[in-house]
Every structure is written in structure tokens, then in C-alpha cells.
Amino acid sequence: MAHVININSPDTNYGIVIESHLITEIEHHYRKYELGGRVAVVTNEVIAPLHGERLVNALPDATLITIPDGEDYKTMETVTDICRQFARNGLDRKSLVIALGGGVVGDTAGFAAASYMRGVTLVQMPTTLLSMVDSSVGGKVGVDIPEGKNLIGAFNQPDLVLIDTSVLETLPENEWKNGMAEVIKHAFLADEGLFNTALHTRAKAVELVSRAVQVKVDVIVQDPYENGIRAYLNLGHTFGHAIELVTQFAVPHGQGVSMGLMAAVKLSHRLGLCEESLIDRARDALVDVGLPITTGGIDSEAIYAAMLTDKKWYKGRSRFVLLRDIGDPLIMEGVSKDDVIAILDDMK
């Protein structure tokens, strides 16, 4: 049974379909999802043989475009290559792009879809837990440059999000853990039930993903373009993105978010915003799913320097998403460098 979440706001309307074995459903009922026209399925070299070829064969007029795997390829060069393949394969303004993969594929292919012929229809089809509960929903697309993550991008709302939780059966354990970092983040923001370890299994993926997605949807329908409370979804990300950048992405996004969550909670306590028990709650939740809670000795000054390109900062003034309690986030500006460095040093 499919679980459907509809995003309805003055700015955008689309459905998120969450179901196990959804690709099998598409094979028999592609018209139900309006996938009968000219389609380009963009994926990476890992997902292509696992799910991409099957999806293309299930559609009447589809072509497969494959990009290299990894954050290193989330670049403007890759966007250009994708768009050139769109042109060579005859895509026009009425064509449709399916972004089949994790966050790198979704962000990069989504940006290509926003740019090609000034925009073609986009369907997000995430294949990792991380992209299912986070990047596939909400319309943020873009690429990295050496100066920072996601500094080139756009809002390009998908026309549809199709989440087949059965693809998680082939997801490596480390990637499952990376996705759980965003689930735990959503637990802190709004749904304490997501701390329940009974949900933290692939067998419960439909419920786990549905609840985590609902947290994000509840925020973005109020603030689709991040002019206010949508910034709460960046809890832990200022720290996390900086750690990813400093390590040249040797620390993947989920692990960076885990470290960032721990840092954000500790900073919240240091600034007198929350009880110390919240630190214990964060530590227990993250350790339970096998995520890191220390930075492993990464230089604190280097992490802070990387934060200076964070999109949430204004005119060089720090801006962090912090917590007063579970379900009670806030944005704090002007946190001192000394306080941030103290937390990072404590986490080495």
C-alpha cells in the first residue's frame, strides 16, 4: 500500500509517493505517473545496473544517462555533460527528467533539469535513505565549487517524488547509517517518535521514511524558499558541511551531519539554551545507529574557516540553528568564534 504525502502551498503542489517495490508498479502502470512521454533517466554508474536499466526498460520512450559516482562529480562540468546528453538524445521542453539516485544525482540532475531549455519537468526518485528523507523533497538543487557546498544552485520543485523503499535492500550499511543522521535530525526538530529504535530497520522503511518526510513537508509548505523557518532543517549542517569541505568529502554527508548535530546540541547547552540531558539524548541516539559523535581530530580552526562560506551566514556574521529542546529549534546570530572553537576542540 502506497503512502502518499501531498505538498500544497501557494508556490508549489506535488505528490510524494512512498511504497515498497514501486519500480515494479511503474513497469505495469507508467501512465498512472505520467511517464509515457520522452524521458531521460539520470543516474550514476553504481545505480544504473541495479535499478536504472530496469526503469528505462519499463518506460516506452526513455534513455539512460549515467554520471560518475561521488561528491567529487557534483560540479558544473557534470551539469554541462548531462545537458549535452539531453540535447543529443532529443529532449525538448515537453520532455521529463527522472533523477534516480542519491543526493548527488538528485541535486546535479535536478539542476540540469532546471537549466536545460530554461527548465523541463523533473521527477525525483531517490535510492538512498539520506536522499529519501531529505534532498529529494523541497526543491533544492545545485552543485559544489571548491569554495563551498551547494554554492551554485536553484529552487526547482519536482513535479513528483517517487520513493521505492525496496531499493534500500541493496543499500550498503554505511549509507543506511548516513541516512539515519537526517532521520535523527528530524526527530530533534519535530517527531520524537523517530528516536524509537524499533523503526530503525529496513523492514520498517515505509513508516520510517514517511514520518521523516512529513517533518520536512510540514516545514517547507510554510516556507518553500527558506526565508524563515525552513532554515531549521539545517540543524547540524553548518558544522557538517564545513567538516565535509575540510576533509575534501572524505567525511560523507551523513557522518558530517552526525558530528554537526552533536556540535549544535553542545553549543546550545554552552550558550544556556538547553539542559545537559539533551546532549545525552543526542549522544545515545547517534551512537545507537553507529554514527560518529567526535570530529576525530580535525583541525578546529580549519572547520571554522570553512564555515565562513556557509550560505546561512550574513555579512560574515555567524548564524546557527540551535535547540532549546526537542521540537523547539531557533536561529541564533552572532555566536562568538571562541564558543564555536571550544565546542570543536571538545569534540576532537
Check which CATH number belongs to the domain holding 330 and give it: 1.20.1090.10
> Would residue 21 show up in a list of annotated catalytic residues for this protein?
no
Phi-psi region at 118: left, alpha or beta (left = phi > 0; alpha = psi -120 to 50) = left
Does 198 reside within a domain? no
pLDDT tens digits for 80-126?
999 999 999 999 999 999 999 999 999 999 999 999 999 999 999 99
- Which of 107, 142, 171 is the last residue in one of the domains? 171
Same domain for 128 and 29: yes
- Is the pLDDT reported for residue 224 higher than 90? no
Q: Beta 319-325 vs 328-333: how paired, if at all? A: antiparallel
Measured between alpha carbons, how far is 29 from 38 in angstroms, rounded to an integer?
Answer: 16
Q: Report the share of the chain in percent with pLDDT over 90.
A: 88
In a domain, 99, yes or no: yes
Residue 216 annotated among the catalytic residues of the structure: yes
Catalytic pick from 74, 186, 211, 230? 230
Is residue 183 included in any domain, yes or no?
A: no
**Do both 86 and 167 map to the same domain?**
yes
pLDDT for res 27: 86
**Has residue 290 been placed in a domain?**
yes
Domain CATH code at residue 113: 3.40.50.1970
- Least Cα distance to 124 among 106, 104, 142 occurs for 106
The CA distance from 97 to 91, in Å, is: 9
Amino acid at 311: K
Query: Is residue 348 annotated as a catalytic residue, yes or no?
Result: no
Would 227 be classed as within a structural domain? yes
**How high is the pLDDT of residue 347?**
96
* pLDDT averaged over every residue in the chain: 94
Active-site choice (28, 118, 315, 317):
118
Task: Assess whether 227 carries a catalytic annotation.
Answer: no
Q: How many domains does the chain have?
A: 2
Residue 156 falls in the annotated catalytic set: no
Residue 207 lies in a domain: no
Task: Judge contact between 212 and 194, C-beta under 8 A.
Answer: yes
- Maximum Cα–Cα distance for the chain, whole Å? 59
Which range marks the domain in which residue 282 is found?
A: 217-346
> Domain boundary residue among 135, 150, 171?
171
Catalytic-role residue among 182, 266, 269, 319: 182
Q: Do residues 166 and 225 both lie within one domain? A: no
Residues 14 and 163 both lie in one domain? yes
Task: Tell me if residue 337 is catalytic.
Answer: no
| 6 noted as active-site residue | no
- Using a 10 angstrom Cβ sphere, with 0-12 exposed, 13-18 middle and 19 or more buried, the burial of residue 149 is buried
d(CA 304, CA 296) in angstroms, rounded, equals: 15
Is 226 marked active-site? Answer: yes
pTM as predicted: 0.92
pLDDT digits (tens, 9 = 90+) for 231-260: 999 999 999 999 999 999 999 999 999 999
Q: Do 161 and 232 sit in the same domain of this protein?
A: no
Q: What is the DSSP letter of 75?
A: S
C-alpha distances (whole Å) from 228 to each of 59, 221, 238, 330 are 40, 12, 16, 11
